[in-house]
Structure formats: C-alpha cells, structure tokens
Amino acid sequence: MRKHSRHLKRKRKKKFNIYFICIFVFFISVIGVGFYFYCMDGKDHCSEKIKRAKEHLNKKSEIQEKKTPLPKYNEKLDVSNDGRLVGAMPESANQHGYSSLKVWEILQSNYFPPLEDKKTIFLTFDDGPSGNTEEILAVLSKYKIKATFFVTGSAVQHNPVKLKKIYEEGHALGNHTFSHVFSILYPGGVLNFLNFNNEIEQTEKQIQFVLGESFYTRSIRCPGGSMSWQGMDSLFEDFKNKGLASIDWNAVNGDAEGGLKTASELVNKCKETAKYGINVILMHDKDEKSETVKALPEIIEYYLHQGYQFKILI
Ligand SMILES: [Zn+2]
C-alpha cells in the first residue's frame, strides 16, 4: 500500500515536471518571437530614419547648389558672365588684376618665374579690416600700389566702413573665413568641411551686405595656410568645382612668426623671402601689427627700385 502511494507520488511529480518544462519552453518561445519582431521593427525604424535623413541631406545640398550658382569667369573682362564683380572694382581688376586661379596653379607648382616676363609682387594683408587698415591704405595710395586684403567676416562685421574704403580705393578682397578659429575650422588638425564652407558663405554674405550682392571673390586664404591641415583634398576639389582658388604664399615679412619684430626686421625678412619672379607676400592687417605699417614704405620702394610690378588677385 505504502509502496503504491510512493509510486503515485513519483508519477505526479514527474507529470508536474513535464508540465513545468512545457510552460517554461512556451514562455521562452513567446519572449523569443516577441523580441525578434521587436528587433525587426527597430531595424525598420532605424533604416527608415537613415533613409529620411539621407533624403533630407540630398534635398539640402540641392537647395544649396541652386542657391549659390557660381557664374563662369570671363577672363577678358575680369567680371563674371552674369555681370557680377570679381574680387575688386572692374577698372582696378582690369588694370591690376591677375587670375587667382592661375596663381593657385603657380603656387602649387613651386616654380615662380616672372609673370608674362615681368617680375611681380602680390602684397597680401590678412585678418583685417583693423585699426591699421587706414594707415596701410594711405601708404599704398602714396605709392599708387594696389594690394589684396584677405578679410574675415567677423572683422568686416566690426569695420564695414573700412571694408568699403579698401574696395573703393581699388584693392582686391579675398575671403579668410568668418571666425578664423582653428578649432572650429580644423578640429584636431583635420578640416571640418561643413564648418569651413559655412564660414566662407557667411563671410561672403557679410562682404555683400556692405558692398552689394553683385560682389563676390574667388580668392580664398585658408587660416594658417592650406598646407598645415589634414583632409584638405575634399575642400580643394570643391573649390575647383565652384571656380574658387586657394591662395597661400611663397614669401613673408615675418609679422606672424615668433615675437613682435621691428619694422627693419620685417623689411629684411621680406627681402630674404620675396626673391622670385612672382611673389605672393603674406602680411597682416591687425591692430597689434603696427610695425607692418612702418615697414611697408621701404618694402614697396625696394621692389619698385628692383623693377617689380604690383598686381592684385581677382
Ligand atoms: Zn589669418
């Protein structure tokens, strides 16, 4: 009797275990299938989101392309085909201008023979307009020399009257980004394409706000020089597609190197480095660079005496 009831108990226990295992397997299956569908759903949401983002980006770049159609350059007139100005006032561009696209090629070639048999200087002033702009303009005016000013959008914002004066006195303008802040333009030493292009666009708008929408410049000077950063190839490709030129330099007066230099040190540095047939000289139009202004007459006289012509980048 006892034996029989033990047998019954074992049988019930066994039955219970089978039920328990079945229920357990059932729940695991339900959870598994549910999880699978949840994941699939998530994936779909995810891929849908990426698809939508891509569509949005494509639309955005289409809009941007439509918004800023860059006109084709007319070499003869030094104005664009749709009548927009290039870099400087038309009279000055015709008389003193030289294609920045060609100068970009020359600077890349590392071979600097005289330009059309004439030894040539391009004086370039970066970072302005500043508290020194008017003095620089006065020196240039005295010698009837034209120069190229690579302005930042933020400086233009603060000195619109000075920008107008630069332009009206027949000098050329180039775009030197808006903020000039390396960590925005090249975080970690690598180009941020979007930030850089946004700043070029903002600066162009800022210049146009002062000079009118018919103005635009093809000359871009990358802050710190285009050779100092990684990932610039995409930018150069973009410049080529838009008809823009990256203008570095092959000579300096040294006003941005090391500590403050005296005017005579700047003159010497310029004579040492600007000794080619074609020279793009880097100088600065900044509040603290007053020695640059003092050195300018001697630099101009030295090169005039050597028979150089002075050109502007358009
Ligand atoms: Zn600069």
Task: Kindly state the helix (H) or strand (E) to which residue 114 belongs, with its residue range.
Answer: none
Q: Are 84 and 215 in contact (CB under 8 A)?
A: yes
Least confident span in 26-40, 108-122, 252-266:
26-40
CA 255–ligand 1 middle distance (angstroms)? 11
As beta bridge partners, residue 48 has: none
CA 223–ligand 1 middle distance (angstroms)? 5
Q: Are 87 and 218 in contact (CB under 8 A)?
A: yes
Q: Which residue intervals of the chain are DSSP H helices?
A: 2-67, 90-96, 100-109, 133-142, 153-158, 160-168, 182-185, 193-211, 233-242, 263-273, 290-305
Average pLDDT, whole number, for the chain?
A: 83
CA 307–ligand 1 middle distance (angstroms)? 29
- Say what the pLDDT of residue 21 is: 59
CA separation (Å) from 257 to 80, 124, 150, 203, 224? 37, 16, 18, 26, 12
Give 258's DSSP letter: S
Q: Are 270 and 303 in contact (CB under 8 A)?
A: no
Residue 187, token pair as written in the block: 């975080």
CA 19–ligand 1 middle distance (angstroms)? 80
Examine the pLDDT at 143 and tell me if it is beyond 70: yes
What torsion, rounded to 10 degrees, do the Cα atoms 219, 224, 230, 233 define? 10
Q: Which residues are catalytic?
A: 126, 284
Scanning the structure block, which residue is given the tokens 């006195």? 169
CA 286–ligand 1 middle distance (angstroms)? 9
- The 10 Å CB-count burial string (b at 16+, else e) for 68-78 is eeeeebeeeeb
pTM strictly above 0.95: no
CA 293–ligand 1 middle distance (angstroms)? 17
CA 228–ligand 1 middle distance (angstroms)? 13
- Say what the pLDDT of residue 216 is: 87
CA–CA distance, 78 with 279 (Å, rounded to integer): 21
Ligand 1 ion: Cβ-proximal residues, 5 Å cutoff: 126-127, 223
Examine the pLDDT at 115 and tell me if it is beyond 50: yes
Q: Which residue intervals of 232-274 are DSSP H helices?
A: 233-242, 263-273
Examine the pLDDT at 256 and tell me if it is beyond 50: yes
CATH topology of domain 72-313: TIM Barrel (3.20.20)
